[in-house]
Amino acid sequence: MKTDDSREILLRGERLSKRFTDKDRQIDALSEVDVFLRRGEFLGVVGESGSGKSTLLKVISGLLPVDAGEIYCGEERMTGCGAREMGKRLQMIFQDAKSSFDPRFSMVHSILESGRGKRDLAEVRALIDLVGLDSVLLSRKPAALSGGQCQRMAIVRALYNGADILLCDEITSALDVSSQAQIVGILKKLKEQRGLAVLFVSHDIALVRMLCDRVLVMQNGRVVEGGRIANVVDDPQDPYTRQLIESARRQSL
């Protein structure tokens, strides 16, 4: 997949660090992680469980404060902005999309409510169409939708909010193969049609290989290797990356 290196950088994290203190143990969940994302670019983030992938997305989205480092959206310094302020620039999508919707309300209510004063039902319907859902589902509550449908509703909500960056944390892990393929197809379409940029955390290296332009490999809160997807996955330099890719290959056999 080709990446246009001249595209504007939408998001930049510089030397991001985050330490958790759990009882008397300290965990460096992120240590000086550098990350950037261009318009229309998909960046995969892979690494074993506990390597800091979710923490990276949480500090970028403002759900957690960083201990050190800087976050920029374009030229604007966003370090210290909470989730509300960051939410105007980027949206996070979780594995369990269902629980990210208020169970008391219909989808259309939740999506319109998220628009910060905007109430444009025609736009919601157009987005529903774009992700290939039937607009009758808009009147349903989250419990009456499948996981894949909720995932697509979460994408609609993010786009309705005007986000051009999505942070996706294992969003396809709980879906069956055909729902997974649908979500991947939608993300690809949004990338091409709207220049959507995605930080895509996944255990599934084959999926990352298929979808992403570049990848970061994380271990113990550090980036051990990063670069063009073809270079990293097909010719890993770091022994940890090699091991990760080998074990992914074995699992898919």
Using CB under 5 A, list all residues that contact Mg ion. 54
- Work out how close the CB of 37 gets to ligand ATP at its nearest, in angstroms, rounded to a whole number: 18
Asked if residues 208 and 214 have their Cβ atoms less than 8 Å apart, the reply is: no
Residue 227: contacted member of ligand ATP, Mg ion, none (CB under 5 to 8 Å, by partner type): none
As a whole number of angstroms, the distance between CA 156 and CA 128 comes to 6
Written as six digits, the tokens of 49 are 């469980």
As a whole number of angstroms, the distance between CA 219 and CA 30 comes to 9
Helices (H), 48-139: 53-60, 83-86, 107-113, 121-130
Check binding of 150 to ligand ATP (CB under 6 A). no
- Work out how close the CB of 17 gets to ligand ATP at its nearest, in angstroms, rounded to a whole number: 12
- Work out how close the CB of 124 gets to Mg ion at its nearest, in angstroms, rounded to a whole number: 30
Residues 32-71 that bind ligand ATP (CB under 6 A): 47, 49-55
Check binding of 251 to ligand ATP (CB under 6 A). no
Q: In this complex, which beta carbon is closest to ligand ATP, that of residue 106 or of residue 220?
A: 220
- How many chain residues touch ligand ATP (CB under 6 A)? 12
Residues paired with 77 in a beta bridge: 72
Q: In this complex, which beta carbon is closest to ligand ATP, that of residue 47 or of residue 62?
A: 47
Q: In this complex, which beta carbon is closest to ligand ATP, that of residue 47 or of residue 148?
A: 47
As a whole number of angstroms, the distance between CA 141 and CA 104 comes to 7
Asked if residues 126 and 88 have their Cβ atoms less than 8 Å apart, the reply is: no
Residues paired with 90 in a beta bridge: 165
Residue 52: contacted member of Mg ion, ligand ATP, none (CB under 5 to 8 Å, by partner type): ligand ATP
Residue written as tokens 């409510």?
Answer: 113
- Work out how close the CB of 94 gets to Mg ion at its nearest, in angstroms, rounded to a whole number: 10
- Work out how close the CB of 71 gets to Mg ion at its nearest, in angstroms, rounded to a whole number: 19
Residue written as tokens 């332009």?
Answer: 213
Interface residues toward ligand ATP, by CB under 6 A: 20, 22, 27, 29, 47, 49-55
